[in-house]
Every structure is written in C-alpha cells, then in structure tokens.
A and B are shown apart, each in its own frame.
Chain A
Amino acid sequence: MKPARVLAFTRKEVLEIVRDPITVSVALFMPLVILFLFGYALSFDVENAPLIIVDHDKSAASRALSDQFLNTTYFRLVSAPDDERVAEHALMQGRARAVLSIPPDFGRRLARGEAAPVEFLVDGTYASTAAIVSAYGRAIMYAFPNGTLQLPVQPEVRVWYNPQLRSRDFIVPGLFAVILMAFPPLLTALAVSREKELGTIAQIYASPLTKPEFIIGKLLPYAAIAALQLAVVLATGFLWFKIPMHGSLGLLVALGLLYVLCTVSIGLLISTLVRTQVAAMLVTLVVTLMPSFLFSGFIYPIFTMPAFFQAYSAKIPTMYFVNISRGIVMRGAGLAELWTNVAVLVVYTVVVLTLATLLLKKRIG
C-alpha cells in the first residue's frame, strides 16, 4: 500500500465530484427532501380525530361530558345529529372516526349515583389509530365527572423518554439511519459503475494501483460526502425540527461517521459486482433503501415481527443505527448501553470492505 497512489486516486475523485455540481447538490438536497417529507407527513399522533356526538340526554351532565371530549386537541366535532343512523352513516362514509352516543337518562343516573352507560363507537379500519382513539376516549370517560379515576387498583403508568408521545421525536432520529443508508451507497455505487461504463477503468486496471488502494481511494471521498450528509440531516433534525437531545451529540456524530463508513462500503461492494450505472442504482435501492424502511424498526418495531423477519432485519445495518440514534437522542444512552450495536457495525464494515476488495477484479470480464 503506497499512500502516494491512494492520494493521487482520491485527488482525482474529489476533482471529479467537485466539477459535477449537479451530483453534489443532489447528494445534499435529496436527504433533506426525505427528511422534510417524512418529518412532516409521517405522524402517528392522533390529533383532531373527527367525532360525532349524539346527545339524547341534553342535560348539564351530558354537555359536560361532550365538552370534556372537545376540550382536548384529540377530537373535533363533525356534527351533533339526534339520530344514531345519521351518525352510523357518517362513520361508514369515513367522515367521522368515532361516535359518542349519550343515552336519555345519563344525567339522572349519574345524579343518583348509578352506573351510566355511554356508547363510544370507533372506526377500526386503521387499527393503530383506532386503538389510540379508543384509549383516549376511555381515559376521558374514566376521568369524568371530577377528573379522578375511581378504580380499586391505582396504576401509576408513566411514559419515559418521550412523555408526550410525540411521534416526530421518534421518527426523525430513525430517519437519520434510513437516509444515511439510502443515499451515500447510491452515490458510491454509481461512481464506480460510471468508470466501468465509460471505460476509464481500463487505465486503472493497467496500472500498479492495487485493489486495497483502489477501494480506499474511492472510499475516502465518498465517506467525506456521506459525512457532509450526516451533518446536514443532524443539523436539520435538531435545529429545524427541534428534536430534543437527551444524550451526547459527540457520541452520535462519532457513531454516525462509523455508520456512513459502513453504508458507503456497501455501495462499494455493490459497484464491484455490477457493470452498469442502471444496475448499480437498482441493486442499491433494493439492497439498502427498501429493507431500511421495512426492516429497521424505523416505523414497524422489529420485536413484533415473526422470528424469520427478525433474523432478516438483523442482517441490515440500518436497524443497529436506528437503535443507536434513538438510544442517544431519546434515552440519553451511552456506549455502555449501545456497545453491541456499535460492535455489529464495526464487524459489518470490516467484512463488507474485505469482500469488496476480494471481489474487485483488476481485470475485464
């Protein structure tokens, strides 16, 4: 390994990248597009769920219950018909997600200290939303009329790490992992296959440049771009989306650099195997982006998956950085809690780079 040759190769690579402003701007712009798209559009919070209230009682108590529902940000009133059939029709149309139906003697029963049944209908089409809506509804009704829960067992449920259950605080740190798996390898894979397509690789083949020198020479500049992408998404996450940071930013950046080294290496490995840019792009998307969305725990938790898919998820490095990122940002975790994830990423990177070096042919065909 001669540093001078690696340096010459890296220099050339940097010049090529810098002179292609479109690639550079796409490299920095695309991660932001995804970050904003998912940061704003993807939310599991239930707010303003359309609600219909059918109040047959029209008493002070029934109005008080209605107000309890509407005073939250969780529900908004769509209409208040007198007929259940109208309400059911609206539910079927999808105009309302829930119906609160208060029977005629609600106020009287309550005044007498009797049990007062109230009907709460929830549209179960979106299963997870329905669960949240019914939980909200139940919580409001249990706390009625005087805001205290009267149950024999007094549970003290406390939500740690994200007490307001803001889903953006959970999605954005996950997006860090997905975005840095999607774009850095794509750029790297295209850069090598481009040389193959244009035939410029022939002069690399017919030169003393060794395979490890080639791999490192390509890795360095693209890892630098990936580091830039890391900086851009972290800055946007913390400064624009104002995601609260509970851990060490330094640790997150350091492990983020390890992670992009890993993802860029995956791009290099793909590029040693394919010949054309189109193939590189397709393979990279299939290998990195698609599994990152589904099998990283970014949206769908891995612990609820069947064993087979849990094992599959473990093969994709995204999951480990989702753990690291959420661990540091949301739980304030340190290396003591995260070291297994870090170890996997280190081993992964070494294996992928070794494979890329072994599979790279300094030959045609």
Chain B
Amino acid sequence: MSASPVIEAEGVGRRFGARTVLQDVSFRVEPGEVFAIVGPDGAGKTTLLQMLAAILRPSLGSCRVLGEDVRKRPDRVQARVGYMSQGFSLYDRLTVAENIAFAAGIRDVPKEALVARKAKLVAMAGLERFQDRREGALSGGMRKKLALCANLIHEPPLLILDEPSLGVDPLSRRELWRILEAARAEGRSIVFATSYMDEADASDRVLLLRDGRPLALGTPSDLRKTARAHVYSVGTDAPELAEAALTRLPDVLSFQRRSAGEVRVQLRTAGVPPDIGPDFRDLKPVEPTMEDVFTVASAPAEPIAVSQTAVRSPSQEILIAAEHVTQRFGDFVAVDDVSLRIAAGEVLGLLGPNGAGKTTLIRILCGLLAPSEGRAAVAGYDVARQSEKVRSSIGYVSQKFSLFTDLTAEENLIFFARAYGVPSPEMKTRIAWACEHAGVPPSEAGLVRNLSSAVRQRLALACAILHRPKVLFLDEPTSGVDPLSRFRFWRMIAGLAADGVAVIVSTHYLEEATYCDRLGLMMDGRMIALGTLQALMADLGLTDLRVEDVFLGFIARERGQAAAA
C-alpha cells in the first residue's frame, strides 16, 4: 500500500473562462516526500494546490490524490488531506483550544485521541500558554502555527500548504518547520508552495512554476546542476565598479553584492565567465542556490537592458533625521526611542518581524502620524508640524501597491500626476520619466488587475515618483515577486538613489538586505541594530554571509540582555 504514490498529476491545468492560469503540470509525490512548489505571484501555485485538495476542479489533465480521482471523488480527497490556505483560515473569535476542537470535530477525530494529539501539537507549536486566547489576538506567526496544528489534528497522510511562512518572522518560520519536520518523520507527505528559496532547497523535490507553466522539476541538487556554470563569484575591492561593468554585459541576468569584497553573478550562457575588465581580484564559478536556479531557468529569450546607474557618491545632505522618536498607542509602545539619520543617495533596509514597528516608523516619517515623543525631520520639514510639506516631498509605495485596479496603467499615472499637482504641460514628459525610472513598459495596456505582480510593483513605483520626491518609502515592495524581477526592481531603486533620493525599504526577504547601504533591525519597537551589513556581521563575529543569522544573532543578544536586566 505504502508504495503507491500520494499524488499522480498528468497534464493538469485550469482555465478560468478564456484565461488559462495553469497547464501541462505533471508530477508524482511519493509517501513521506516533501514537495515544494516555487514561483512568483500569479504563477499558478494556489490554483495547483486547490486542485490537489480537490476544492477546485481541474479543467485539463487528470489527477489522483491518495488514490482517488479529484474529479470523481472530491469528497474522499477533501476528507483525508490537510489543507492550509494562504492567509489566516481559522476563526478569530474562537480561542486556540476552540479552534483545534472545531477542526477535530468536523474531521471525525475521536475524543480519546484528541486530548493527547492536541497536547502534543500545542506543545510543539509553543502555544500551551495561549490556549484560552482568541485566535485574532495572536501574532501572525502564532496564527500560522495554530492553523498547522488544526490541519494535523486528524493526522492526514498528505498536507497541502499554501505559502505557510508568508509574512511570518524568521523565528516563527523555524518553529513552523520544526512542526513540519515532525509530521514528515511520522511519514506524512507535504506539498507546499513557497517563495522562500531556502525552504525549497530543504525539500526532497522542487517544481518551479512561472506564468502557469512548469519551468523545472527535480531534486534541489539536480536543479542546481542545471544552473551550474551559470553562476560566478567575483572577488573585488571596488564592488561599485564591478557592478557597473556587469551592468554593461548583455549576458548578465542579475547580480547581488555578497559582501564588501564579493559580487555574485547569474549568466544566461553557461561556462562563459563574464568579461568585467580590471576591477576584480578573482572570478570563479560557484555552486548555485535555488534562487540562482530560478533566475537562470526564467531567463527571457531576449536580453533585457539593465538600467545603467552612475556610481553613487556619498552625500552630506541629511534628508531623514529622527531623534528619540517614540510612538505610544495607549499602553502599547509601537516605536520605542528610535534615532536615525539618512543622507541623500542612501538606501536603508528596515528588517524585523511583523509587529516590530516598521510600518509605524514609516508612517511617522511620512507625516501621517505625529510621534508621541521625540522629533523627526524629513527633507528639512518637521513631520509633526509641517506634515503637508513632508508629504509633498516624499513618495510612498505600500505593501498592497495602492493602485486603482479597474483603471489602466496610464489612467493610474495620470490620476497620481494630477493628485500630486504635476502641471498639465509637464504631465507627458513627467510620466515618461517616471516610467523609465521605474521600468514600466511604455505600451502597458489593459486594466491594472490583469497585470502581473512584477509589473504592478513597477507601476506603483512610477506613480510614487511622479512628483520627483527627495525621499522614498517602500513598505515590503517586493513580496511575491520573482527573483529576476526583484533584481530589476532593486536596480531601479539604486538608480533613484544615485540621483540623490534617500530610500527606506522594509522587507521580509532577508537576502535583499545585501542591496541596501545600511540595515536597521527592529524588534518590539526598538532599533536593535543599525549599520552596514559588514559592520553588523563584525559585531557578531560572523564570517559567512547569512542575513538570517545576523538577524537571529541580534534577536538572541537582545533577549539575553532583556533576561539579564
């Protein structure tokens, strides 16, 4: 029995009306296997998972899950799998214990078994102390862990998880995976969608999806083999010059600065080292990561011109100055005594778990919220007393890209230009300028809601810079966007910084920290570390560049200090 596959998908696909959102997907999942589905927003991950859970009927191909045809016997599949949808799928007015009891009740878990299973799961999720707390009052990470517990209570042979760690802080993410490891050790199969490449790397097999089609399928090591000789490491003492040289090469897909002396490059053609001239020490092929695999596999047929950016020169003009800024909401301290100074042309990355105070800090600096204590000036204006002037000199891209989805790209641009008071005669040139700087294709037609998330993200950036702001705030602008588009987006940000714009970016992708000049780590409202990545690493005595380790290192140190005090 155990030899028969858990999932057999043959040419599975789904159409919504005339639109095909997924096609030609074929794979098998064996018992006990951990199977990752990786791809940017709109790749078809959720659609595929819903079809596997038999709650969406496939329009193409055939699919058997746990030996049952999902078309003919969806009820049997639904009854036996565990399915965790994206976002929060539990009842916020019910407590932790009640949510688990409900999940057990509708899934025929015998009363005797429930007590023991619940105790085990709740302990593993670290939720024992919160059993009587309402789900809505838990942190994002805890809610996700609880949802997982609710889906494990009936001990399903197959777990289907839709981006389980989306928006979860690194610490909770580790705990989530500890629970999943235990489930796997019990022989359960896990199929999950993710945009975290390290999660894909730790899986048995990976399916890469893009625009509704499979890009690659295999074990992480097999996939890495396909990208081998496409990825090089450049040792250099002048990373800016090396990056400028790489920008000029059409074969370069993307690159990331790994440290002060190293730049990592992904190339279109295998085995041809990039010709970057004299500005490097050594050049060697390196083992690709899953992220590299995705970048190489999704390389467009035609080279895309990567925007040229002038080498940034440090500026003395301070555009953001915050001194001892504190924000209280009743007893709750959302931002606690934060001070920072950001110069023109500088990019500051703001990292921290959900609820760390990143968004509140950004709102204060945007002049949307007067701080309870301390003062802050943006572009020379006081955020509390001159908020009107602050707002007209900043650009803001929110997490959700506040675009009008029922308007076209052009209509959005014109609306925002008018809203910012761009004079009519200048409108055309200004929109063209913003589109060029944000990488929006000039001929982008159709309603915004039909655009891919990568294009939406660039359009939101274009709308935010129409009035040529001196300061730019980006609140998690790259979540759900594929690596190549993210690289291009960061090049745009670098270009704007080179023009003298000061940028604050908050992000969940820790690897994006390498694109920033300085990093600010936030926790519980406090800025627990602020400095260049190198300085932070040196502070912790780390040599291997893993931003997650830096982040966790500072959290551990902070907790240690709190415990000692």
Contacts and interface: CB of A to CB of B under 8 A. Distances in A.
Contacts of A113: none
Interface stretch (A10-18, A34-42, A271-279): A10-18
Nearest to A16: B93
A9 interface: yes
A11 B106 CA distance: 11
A365 B84 CA distance: 17
Interface residues of A, number: 28
Given A203-B103, A206-B83, A12 B91 contact: yes
Contacts of B86: 199
Contacts of A209: 106
Contacts of B88: 198-199
Contact of B74 (A16, A199, A362): A362
B65 to A, nearest CB: 11
B16 interface: yes
A210 B75 contact: yes
Contacts of A205: 53, 55, 78, 83
A362 B105 contact: no
A36 B429 CA distance: 63
Contacts of B16: 365
A207 B94 contact: no
Interface in B155-201: 160
A202 B106 CA distance: 13
A204 B88 CA distance: 13
B93 A199 contact: no
A363 interface: yes
B75 A362 contact: yes
Contacts of B55: 202, 205-206, 362-364
A199 B106 contact: no
A200 interface: yes
A245 to B, nearest CB: 40
B93 A363 contact: no
Contacts of A119: none
Interface string A1-38: 01011011101100110011000000000000000000
Contacts of A4: 105, 108
A204 B75 CA distance: 12
**Most chain B Cβ neighbours within 10 Å, of A8, A11, A203:** A203
A203 B93 contact: no
Interface string B82-126: 111111111101100010011111111000000000000000000
Contacts of B552: none
A205 B82 CA distance: 11
Interface in A184-203: 198-200, 202-203
Nearest to A205: B55
Contacts of A362: 55, 74-75, 78
Nearest to A209: B106
A200 B104 CA distance: 15
A208 interface: yes
B91 A363 contact: no
B33 to A, nearest CB: 20
Contacts of B87: 199
A4 B75 CA distance: 18
B363 interface: no
Nearest to A10: B105
A199 B89 contact: yes
**Most chain B Cβ neighbours within 10 Å, of A4, A200, A206:** A206
A16 B99 CA distance: 11
Contacts of A20: 93
A8 B83 contact: no
Given A362-B74, A364-B50, A207 B85 contact: no
B81 interface: yes
A137 B151 CA distance: 77
Contact of B85 (A7, A199, A363): A199
B151 to A, nearest CB: 8
Given A4-B108, A12-B102, A203 B75 contact: no
Nearest to B76: A208
B414 interface: no
Interface string A327-365: 000000000000000000000000000000000001111
A345 to B, nearest CB: 31
Interface string A199-223: 1101111111110000000000000
Contacts of B89: 199-200, 202-203
A133 B16 CA distance: 65
A276 to B, nearest CB: 16
A20 B91 CA distance: 12
A283 to B, nearest CB: 22
B305 interface: no
B57 interface: yes
Contacts of A365: 16, 56
Contacts of A19: 93-94, 134
A15 B50 contact: no
A293 to B, nearest CB: 34
Contacts of A210: 75
A118 to B, nearest CB: 70
A284 B329 CA distance: 39
A15 B103 contact: no
B296 interface: no
B150 interface: yes
Given A205-B55, A365-B56, A8 B101 contact: yes
A364 B84 CA distance: 14
B311 interface: no
B149 to A, nearest CB: 12
Interface string A228-271: 00000000000000000000000000000000000000000000
B79 interface: yes
B133 to A, nearest CB: 13
B56 A207 contact: no
Contact of A8 (B74, B105, B134, B151): B105
Given A8-B101, A202-B83, A363 B90 contact: no
Contact of B106 (A5, A16, A363): A5
B108 A12 contact: no
A234 to B, nearest CB: 30
A264 to B, nearest CB: 21
A363 B56 contact: yes
Nearest to B81: A206
B501 to A, nearest CB: 38
B288 to A, nearest CB: 35
A15 B151 CA distance: 20
A295 B249 CA distance: 76
Given A205-B55, A208-B107, A200 B90 contact: yes
Contacts of B150: 203
Given A15-B93, A19-B93, A364-B50, A207 B75 contact: no
A156 to B, nearest CB: 65
Interface string B241-254: 00000000000000
Contact of A15 (B82, B90, B98, B108): B98
A90 B151 CA distance: 78
Nearest to B101: A8
B55 to A, nearest CB: 4
Interface of A: 2, 4-5, 7-9, 11-12, 15-16, 19-20, 198-200, 202-210, 362-365
6 contacts: A5-B105, A5-B106, A204-B106, A208-B78, A208-B79, A362-B74
Interface of B: 16, 50, 53-57, 74-75, 78-79, 81-91, 93-94, 98, 101-108, 134, 150-151, 160
Given A205-B78, A206-B81, A362-B74, 11 more contacts: A9-B105, A12-B98, A19-B93, A19-B94, A203-B83, A206-B78, A209-B106, A362-B75, A363-B74, A365-B16, A365-B56
